[in-house]
Amino acid sequence: MKNLFSSDFKLGILGGGQLGKMMLYDTRKFDIQTYVLDPSDVAPSRIACDHFEQGSLMDFDTVYNFGKQVDVLTFEIETVNIEALEKLEQEGVQVFPQPSVLRNIQDKGVQKEFYKDNEIPTATFEKYAFAKAIPASSRSYPYIWKSCQGGYDGKGVAVIRKAEDLETLPEVPCIAEDMIPFKNELAVIVVRNVSGDVKTYPVVEMEFHPEANQVEYVICPARIDEKVAQKARAIAEKVSKAFSHVGLLAVEMFQTEDDEVLVNEVAPRPHNSGHYSIEGAFTNQFEQHLRAILDLPLGKTDSKVASVMVNLVGAEGHTGNVVYENIAEIMAMDGVTPHIYGKKETRPFRKMGHVTIVDEDLTKARAVAQEVKKKIRVIAQ
pLDDT digits (tens, 9 = 90+) for 254-263: 999 999 999 9
Quote the CA–CA distance of 336 and 279 in Å, as a whole number. 10
Please give the pLDDT value at position 1: 60
CA nearest to 343, candidates 27, 42, 2: 42
Cβ atoms of residues 73 and 53 within 8 Å: no
Same domain for 189 and 170: no
Known binding-site residue numbers = 108, 146, 177-180, 185, 264-265
154 with 80, same domain?
no
Sequence-ordered list of residues with C-beta below 8 angstroms from that of 285, at least 6 positions apart, any chain = 189, 191, 201, 248, 270, 271, 274, 275, 277, 278
Give the length of the chain. 381
Mean pLDDT of 334-359: 96
Residues 153 and 286 in one domain: no
Predicted confidence at residue 114, as pLDDT, reads 96
Average pLDDT over residues 40-51: 95
Same domain, 212 and 277: yes
| Window from 14-23, 116-125, 149-158, 214-223 with minimum mean pLDDT | 149-158
Residue 209: band (very low, low, confident or very high) from pLDDT cuts 50, 70, 90: confident
Surface-to-core class of residue 334, CB atoms within 10 Å of its CB (0-12 exposed, 13-18 middle, 19+ buried) = exposed
pLDDT for residue 112: 96
Same domain, 210 and 328: yes
Position 257 scores a pLDDT of 94
Q: Which of 178, 201, 219 delimits the end of a domain?
A: 178
- Residue numbers in the known binding site for ATP are 108, 146, 177-180, 185, 264-265
In this predicted structure, the answer to whether residue 150 has a pLDDT above a threshold of 90 is: no
Residues 206/158, Cβ–Cβ less than 8 Å: no
Round to whole Å and give the CA distance between 2 and 237.
29
* Residue at 317 is within a domain: yes
Q: Is residue 222 classed as helix, strand or coil in its secondary structure?
A: coil
Position 111 in a domain: no
**Same domain for 173 and 312:** no
Owning domain of residue 60: 10-95
